[in-house]
Structure 1
Amino acid sequence: MQIFVINCGSSSIKFTLFEMAQEQRLVEGAIERIGSHKSELSLHLNSTPITRRVRATDHAAALTLLLAELEQQRWLTAARPPDLIAHRVVHGGNCFYRATLITPSVLQAISEVSQLAPLHNPPNVQGIEAMLAFFGQVPQVACFDTAFHHQLPEVARTWALDRQLVEQYQLRRYGFHGLSHDYVTAALADYLQRPRQQLRLISLHLGNGASGCAVRDGQSIDTTMGFTPTDGLVMGSRCGELDPGVVLYLQQQGFSSEQISSHLNHLGGLKGICGLSDMREVVAAATATDGDEAASLALALFCYRVKKVVGSYWAVMGGVDAIIFTGGIGEHSAVVRSGCCEGLESLGIVLDSDQNRAVRPGQIDAIHPPHSRVGLFVVPTDEALQMARLSQQQLEQNPTAE
């Protein structure tokens, strides 16, 4: 079975074509910087990269380019379509809690949920509509980033607000990065040869977007992102945890909701503290001989917030069997991993510095010494493969959709 996975983000479209018999990537790529004069198409076929500038003024233009490229290269054509198409949808609201076959009513519901994720769901919907128009007879599945957290315990998902207000506006902790947290949970369980239901895990997806997730009995029981992906840990340009009184104060000072949103989502985080949103640049500046103070603070705050989450989840679960580092930063930054573990020895969390520096790209690696009571692991995430697997399972459960 061939499955085409597509992820339409706010400024990019990423895609992968899988042959599921061996879970092999046949082709993958992206169109990035959509809406910019620097829009770029990149393709990887048999590890051979192809990159070129394109004119992608908006998502509609980018999707047209993508479909034309796939047909020209004869990877996918109307006459030779994939067996299944999987779409990443960031927000499923209270409607969707598993991968779901897309029907007109499902597409309408996803569109309605867009009010909860105005930056993310509209491009997701555009991707679905484009694929339905081009591959109308191919089953298509929506995979929701919120689904893994759908069954958060009530005590973890509830905010202390007026119940009528909460129910009227669907206010709750939804959580995000669910596809990643679910994937690495399963991957580590397989690596350890233990059922996931027997593990107490803390999954740390650390990238330009970052979130922590407490996993017990194989399920998410708490997570740092909340109603939106802005909450929780410090991120590249998102502020993370913030007293809501700050928003009210800024409104009183004359800031519009659009201006406040920009400060919270695009001008905050690492970028707000030191002017750099890429953690690689932050680490380089912080560890340079002359040591940039703002970058040092940004790095320290990032790790400090992670440590607070680790400690709180350790308390909630009554201990932890393992901590997972994943995402672009979690997988590749030994400095950040070290900073996130420093001072946690009293919880049985001990990092092996040599193993931490010797992590192999693309491999699961243990980075703790034998005497550490808590296992520390770097686990590469693969959200595209997780989507392909979930979509295949959904189709197998609904064979009449084929």
Structure 2
Amino acid sequence: MNFKIPRGTQDILPGKVEHWQYVEDKARDICRRYNYKELRTPIFEQTELFMRGVGDTTDIVQKEMYTFEDRGGRSLTLRPEGTASAVRSYVENKLFGSPIQPTKLYYVGPMFRYERPQSGRMRQFVQFGVEALGSADPAIDAEVLALAMEFYRELGLKNLKLIINSLGDTESRNAHRQALISHFEPRISEFCSDCQARLEKNPLRILDCKKDKDHELMATAPAILDYLNEDSKAYFAKVQKLLNDMEIEFQVDPNLVRGLDYYNNTAFEIMIGGDGFGSITTLCGGGRYNGLVQEIGGPETPGIGFALSIERLLMALEVQNVTLPVNDQLDCYVIAMGEEAKVAASNISFKLRQAGLSTDQDYLDKKMKAQMKAADRFKASFVVIIGENELEKNVVVVKEMETGEQQEVSINDLTKFLQQKLIR
């Protein structure tokens, strides 16, 4: 029987995985600089967590979750996003009681959604996300947006567009909600069944509908910015001022609606322009969610965060021909000729690895010429050659592959010799 990988998943092979490691390391480094700490949560959670945390009117909950019953009859779901799990952990572990506030977290890990696979969109995908919990200061909104933008910029992406909007506080959202119901209700029968179901539950989600996006009522729908109260206007103005002070360019789009139910006040997306992206131009999305912690059983706590797809990021880097500075060179390749030399080669490799040098050797009894070709394929900086004659003299021949220069070095001095040569 031939087994094949499940649809919507991928194997990330050597040669490609190094790119993943590089961008994940970059994510961890920028979070270190912004003082966000890593959080690791289970890959599956109680289904109810996502129904309450993500929202039961969302496409994620209604159509895309991988849900199953365990042997105890409990309904569990592979996590479709990271925020609900992060907030659950925040509440369960009482991080709100820590003297260090706000609580600033990040995560990198696989998520699962049953979607139609396409370029940049997989059923198992990796998200990098951050969550800042415990502060209602507009400055932390600006910090989160700045972190996301700097992450992309430091990786070398161009033509980035930061799009922001305000969804307002509860009072503003309620006023907008009533306006949307009044706007859509007379002709709601012309919309898809999903939109009809959302009219009363969450009419804001109608604006995010892909099926009815070209309906004439979409273009004339009431804009949330027209319904912001004074507090919400002042909050949004402060966020914009902070971004301007940091010289981070942005555009205000009153039609921006995030797809999850828990957002309020600041909402944003980072998009990328140019040819080669098809219909997928959004790289990152997020916003403020001041009611989510209470929804999951915690105290009243403001929060803001974002999430982005590593797959989509790598696709954007490829489209823009950005070459990541991935070091896939081997420090040393050990070539042995003769049985006794092979025994010595294993010990030499062991010692070099102990000293922190990336080292490999032949395990297929190849001839000298074939071993040199192997060293070339590994992009080895140095080749260490040992045969019976060298073994008798307790030396090796070290060849620098870039210059072709070679010299005899005592086995006892080899590690120190290579370390000095490899100082970068």
Shorter-chain TM-score bucket reads: under 0.3
Q: Which has the higher contact order (CA 8 A, sep 6+)?
A: 2
TM-score by length of 1: 0.27
TM-score after normalising by structure 2? 0.26
